[in-house]
Amino acid sequence: MAVSTFKRGLRLPTRKTATEGKPVEQIPPPKQVVIPINQHFGAPNQSLVQVGDRVKRGQKIADGSGLMTVPVHASIAGVVKKIESRIQSNNTEGLCIVIEASAPEGGPAEGADTEFLPPLDAFTCTREEALARIREAGIIGMGGAGFPVHVKLSPPPNKPIDVIIADGAECEPYLTTDEAALTEKPHLVVLGLAMVMKITGVNRAIIGMEDNKAPLIPMIEREIRMGDYPGDIRVGLCKTRYPQGGEKMLITALTGREVPSGGLPMDAGCIVQNVGTLAAIAEAFTLGKPLIDRDLTVSGGACKLPKNIRAPVGTLLTELPAEFMDIDYDILRKILFGGPMMGTSVASIGIPIQKNTSGIILMTGEETWMDREGPCIRCGRCIRNCACRLSPVIMNINLETGDLDGAVKAGLLDCIECGSCTYMCPARIKLVQRFRVGKQRFRARQSLRLERQKAAAAVLGKG
């Protein structure tokens, strides 16, 4: 099989050996979960429950009305103990529903304490029913970005799609749960992919993986043959190279197409879905199961028992017994939600696992560079290694001087936040962190302008 790739990018130490090939272990039932009510892009949700309410596993507990809004569901059965603001994995405070595990009086019959949706046949229901099911099940992209899937599967009519790409590249160091999904539930990945093809009316799909996962190909191809779904589904291999799992890089490697500057995958005729998300889509139809469990990798030098785990959304690592998850706090220097390249550094382990938490990496001082930033030495390494062909050094200078428009002109909005420039910078300049903040500032400024324009239009209208 041919192995394709994209230009530039990095060869990173993969650091996956501690969890590679390990099965996903179900965590012991947590005593409580802390569920952020907003885990998506878009307008905020409102809580549908109150303190003291008894909830079932799978019951919808928060929802909203915006186009980009998706509901959240109780991931364990129990009683709502608190609804309060907590720090989340993106380091912002957000409203969370705290559920304490408990059984109803008399104890529930087997399965009686769950509330899933009725199963739905994705191949015979209408497109609208299918999209409504995906939204109702609270499914967002599980690869990290958290984009609502029902929106991603509804491109405008002027953006025809002819390829669906299943993203199983998992190029971030340490993370191994996409590999586990391809190993343990290839039937669900392929079924979810076939469902997405049916919903979007696309008859070509590629399951993209890095070539270090080549041994999985026969198993996946067997599932494709056994499923006998309509359309052309095949596996595409890419070089193990960072950031191969980025949507734009994967599209280029597998189709030869380029996503234009400022564009989205749909501008190249593609929709990209993470393999874990596809498995969740399959379960939302076959079992009626909302997105309430998350598979993630817990690893890093300060983690004594690195493993892939399956945890109810809202679980705190601090709740897990030491015989299951042992952490060496003496050498722990950095906690990352997500991988070391694109993840977020957080101050505490007591932060809830969310729908888009692909891993928690507990790093020692040796695994991370804790030294201070130095001045830019104009070496150009950040430019040479940017897979999006941007000039990180120029964007950074613009941001440092407060020239937001200059940074945008230099390509800030095309940055996929892969972190390669930060990794390569000899001066240890936290480039990607600055770009994240810069993009947030730009979006905030845009919405402020929009608000002002609306207010001005309202005043003129009255006049």
Task: Using CB under 6 A, list all residues that contact ligand SF4.
Answer: 376-382, 386, 388, 390, 392-393, 415-421, 424-427, 429, 431-432, 435
- Our CB check for ligand SF4 shows the closer of 254 and 418 to be 418
- Our CB check for ligand SF4 shows the closer of 196 and 390 to be 390
Tell me how far, at minimum, the Cβ of 327 lies from ligand SF4, in Å. 29
- Our CB check for ligand SF4 shows the closer of 60 and 241 to be 241
- Our CB check for ligand SF4 shows the closer of 208 and 438 to be 438
Residue 204 near residue 232, CB atoms below 8 Å: yes
Measured between alpha carbons, how far is 210 from 224 in angstroms, rounded to an integer? 19
- Our CB check for ligand SF4 shows the closer of 217 and 394 to be 394
Tell me how far, at minimum, the Cβ of 427 lies from ligand SF4, in Å. 4
- Our CB check for ligand SF4 shows the closer of 20 and 442 to be 442
Q: In what order do the strands lie in the sheet with 93-101?
A: 32-36, 93-101, 78-87, 54-55
Tokens 């003291």 correspond to what residue?
52
Question: Who's near 244: CB < 8 A, 6+ residues apart?
Answer: 5, 6, 9, 169, 171, 210, 238, 250, 253
- The residues that bridge with 234 in the sheet, in sequence order, are 206
Tell me how far, at minimum, the Cβ of 402 lies from ligand SF4, in Å. 18
Tell me how far, at minimum, the Cβ of 438 lies from ligand SF4, in Å. 11
- Give me the sign of the Cα torsion angle 419, 444, 269, 141: positive
- Our CB check for ligand SF4 shows the closer of 25 and 417 to be 417
Tell me how far, at minimum, the Cβ of 250 lies from ligand SF4, in Å. 14
Q: Retrieve residue 41's tokens.
A: 């892009």
- Our CB check for ligand SF4 shows the closer of 69 and 422 to be 422
Question: Who's near 333: CB < 8 A, 6+ residues apart?
Answer: 302, 363, 364, 365, 367, 368, 370
Secondary element (H or E) of residue 254 = helix 247-255
Question: Which residue, 7, 29, 201, is CA-closest to 103?
Answer: 29
Tell me how far, at minimum, the Cβ of 281 lies from ligand SF4, in Å. 28
Tell me how far, at minimum, the Cβ of 423 lies from ligand SF4, in Å. 8
Q: How far apart are the first and last CA of the chain?
A: 68
- Our CB check for ligand SF4 shows the closer of 31 and 389 to be 389
Tell me how far, at minimum, the Cβ of 448 lies from ligand SF4, in Å. 25
Which of 132-138's residues contact partners 24+ apart within 8 Å by CB, and which partners? Answer: 133/284, 133/285, 134/281, 134/284, 135/70, 135/71, 136/60, 136/71, 136/290, 137/280, 137/284, 137/288, 137/289, 137/290, 137/291, 138/60, 138/70, 138/71, 138/72, 138/73, 138/290, 138/291, 138/292, 138/355
Tell me how far, at minimum, the Cβ of 9 lies from ligand SF4, in Å. 9
